Amino acid sequence: MFVRCVWGLFLSRRVASVASKSPCQRFIRVSSTDAYMMPSDGADHGARVHNNIIQSESDKNLYRGLELSNGMKVLLISDPSTDKSAAALNVQVGYMSDPWELPGLAHFCEHMLFLGTEKYPSENEYHKYLCQHAGSSNAFTASDHTCYYFDVAPENLEPALDRFAAFFVCPLFNEDATDREVNAIHSEHIKNMQNDSWRLKQLEASTADPKHDFSKFGSGNKTTLDAIPKSKGLMVRDELLSFIHSGTLRTSCHLSCLAKSRSMT
């Protein structure tokens, strides 16, 4: 039972055309049982299956690795004793991938992804669903990767994954939410300015080679995400769409998923 939703939500060559007209319809097939069936070893379903995951003798969990046709690598974990299911998606793109003219874009993208998708347009749908089912979520943007994660009651994993997957396939990036999230980013920046660890981090960046990506200002603020783009005639929403639909994002994702299932079949 466990692998049905992960298989159906994340295995697809269809993700390669994420920027086309109706990406959600091709990528997420929650109404089709066949879309969730796990292939047997050696089956030609456009993915490689790995059942020989190395684990300690005291580890009683079941594991399965997948290399999907869209380039994503997946680790599935089955733990019948867990009281929470969980998933984490690590994208190997962080603030060092920001365009030089838009410092903080990766961090801004992290914020905006949570604010509605084509399939679930309500801004609060994801958080509301998790809160209603004993769950929580968060995300962070680092220099070379961004991580999104959540936990939820085991019986609600599949609907939660459905909402989660839509972030990376058909985000709305509503313009009316842009100003609000820029203000949220700016407030986070003001808070960070009082934190010594953040100060040291920025000092390292500021003293690095200014031509190297490490020198970029990763968190962003109202100046870098609003004032400067407007002065240059840049549309931040268009830049966000280009960023999320880039080939790098589509092929550099790693997913881990934990469920209460007693088997991998």
Q: Which amino acid is at 98?
A: D
Q: CA 185 from chain center: how many Å? A: 18
**Other CB atoms within 10 A of residue 103 CB:** 21
State the Cα–Cα distance between residues 160 and 138, nearest whole angstrom.
14
Q: Is 101 a catalytic residue?
A: no
| Location of each CATH 3.30.830.10 domain in the chain | 1-93+120-171+249-265, 94-115+173-245
Residue 78: beta bridge partners?
Answer: 62, 259
Angle CA(127)–CA(133)–CA(138) in degrees, nearest 5? Answer: 35
Of residues 57, 67, 101, 110, which has the active-site annotation? 110
Q: According to the CATH classification, is domain 94-115+173-245 in 3.40.50.1580?
A: no
On whether the CB atoms of residues 11 and 45 are closer than 8 A, the answer is yes
pTM across the whole model: 0.81
Asked whether the predicted pLDDT for residue 213 surpasses 90, the reply is yes
**Other CB atoms within 10 A of residue 84 CB:** 17
pLDDT by residue (tens digit) across 152-208? 999 999 999 999 999 988 999 998 898 899 999 999 999 999 999 999 999 999 999
Predicted pLDDT at 247: 60
User: Which secondary-structure segment (H or E) carries 237?
Assistant: helix 236-244
The separation between the first and the last C-alpha atoms of the chain, rounded to the nearest angstrom, is 6
pLDDT by residue (tens digit) across 56-89? 999 999 999 999 888 889 999 999 999 999 999 9
Give me the CATH topology for the region 1-93+120-171+249-265. Answer: Cytochrome Bc1 Complex; Chain A, domain 1 (3.30.830)
